[in-house]
Amino acid sequence: MILLDSFLIRAALAGLGVALAAGPLGCFVVWRRMAYFGDATAHATILGVALALALEVPILAGALVVALAMALAIWWLSGRGEATDTLLGVMAHSALAFGLVAVAFLPGVRIDLMAYLFGDILSVGRIDLLVIWGGAALVTALLAWRWQRLLTSTLGADLAHAAGIDPRREQLILTLSLAVVVAVAIKVVGVLLIAALLLIPAAAARRFVRTPETMALAAAGLGGVAALGGVWASWAWDTPTGPTIVCIAALIFAAATAVRRGGG
């Protein structure tokens, strides 16, 4: 399509694709207080980037494999009662540090680490768009399929067991979905900002909605507004696009909080 020849159109579509998946998934992150899960998974993808470069495989493949491995490790540790906030923080920052050091040891490889840390959405190509929207569609379809089970297990393990639902399995599905979204979003907002894109639109949507379904839809919509607004503001004011998207999301959250308080 001729429209995709414009880097701004590709950037807008990439941001929108990530936002549509991150919004509903972010609701579960907020409800379950899983912010550190997202951070640990996101930070681990830098190690995946280093491994991909060392093995000469696609960056997305390395990031996805390591993100999935970290997600499985987090899920396993949480089942043993060991996944405290402190342990998750250690895993998140350690994975990021090891990834950065590993990149420095790669001979003859020069990469722009800022692009992976904060995103490089303006360089998104057609193949990247296909990967982003494919990953977003997969996660969205999975959430829609498991929606009621995920909600029930989020309310409480005892309620889930009473309904014949395995809460550990639902947590695994959420954790793996986080890994997929993190991997496909690395080029859009980078590993340091993806957790913000998961949390902020969902937190803003929570101010106005009464049902989980409307919160998921509102979070996706607000995330889309932040993505499109961030791309436009970045182009207009020549600012880094990934951080600008998060800034727009933060302004939306601040406005939502002010309106909510003003309305009582």
Highest mean pLDDT among 7-11, 205-209, 232-236: 232-236
Q: Which token pair is 59? A: 């960056």
CA distance readout (Å), 81 to 137, 141, 165, 248? 32, 30, 20, 37
- Distance between CA 247 and CA 110 in Å, rounded? 29
Contact 19, 220 (CB under 8 A): yes
Q: Which token pair is 148? A: 């009621």
Q: Cα–chain-centroid distance for residue 184?
A: 8
- Distance between CA 31 and CA 211 in Å, rounded? 12
16 within some domain: yes
How many structural domains compose the chain?
Answer: 1
243 within some domain: no
132 within some domain: yes
205 within some domain: no
Q: Which token pair is 128? A: 């990247």
Contact 252, 219 (CB under 8 A): no
Rg (CA), the chain: 18
- Distance between CA 23 and CA 27 in Å, rounded? 7
The distance in angstroms from the start CA to the end CA of the chain is 48
60 within some domain: yes
* The pLDDT of residue 108: 67
**Residue 162 lies in domain:** 2-192
* The pLDDT of residue 62: 87
Q: Kindly report the CATH number assigned to the domain that includes residue 80.
A: 1.10.3470.10
Q: What is the pLDDT of residues 209-246, one digit of tens each?
A: 889 999 999 999 999 999 999 999 999 998 999 899 99
79 within some domain: yes
Q: What is the pLDDT of residues 179-194, one digit of tens each?
A: 899 888 888 888 888 8
235 within some domain: no
Q: Count the Cβ atoms, other than its own, within 10 Å of residue 4.
A: 13
Contact 234, 248 (CB under 8 A): no
Q: Which token pair is 48? A: 């995946």
Q: What is the pLDDT of residues 90-131, one digit of tens each?
A: 777 888 888 888 887 877 666 777 788 888 888 888 888 999
142 within some domain: yes
Q: Which token pair is 9? A: 């159109």
